[in-house]
Amino acid sequence: MKKLMVTIGPFETEVSFRVVQGESVLVEDVFHGKSTGPYVKEYLIDATDENIEVVYDSVNHPDLIIKAKLKPLY
């Protein structure tokens, strides 16, 4: 198990995203509402140490920033 920290913001509408690792989808979620600054959500997941990628609709959300980081569970 690992901890996945997703940081998103700013947003003023519904934003859906996926965090993928290779061919596996680690997390798929939707944020609703408004955030004028960074918002962080944590997930407990099964994952390896391979690189991860955040996939979202950047065309409809050009100013949106979504970052994801894996951390070990202590």
pLDDT at 12: 87
State the pLDDT confidence band at 1, using cuts at 50, 70 and 90: very high
pLDDT digits (tens, 9 = 90+) for 11-52: 888 899 999 999 999 999 999 998 888 999 999 999 999 999
pLDDT at 57: 84
Among 2-6, 42-46, 54-58, the least confident range: 54-58
Q: How many domains does the chain have?
A: 1
Domain of residue 38, residue span? 2-72
pLDDT at 73: 87
| Omega cis (within 30) before 10 | yes
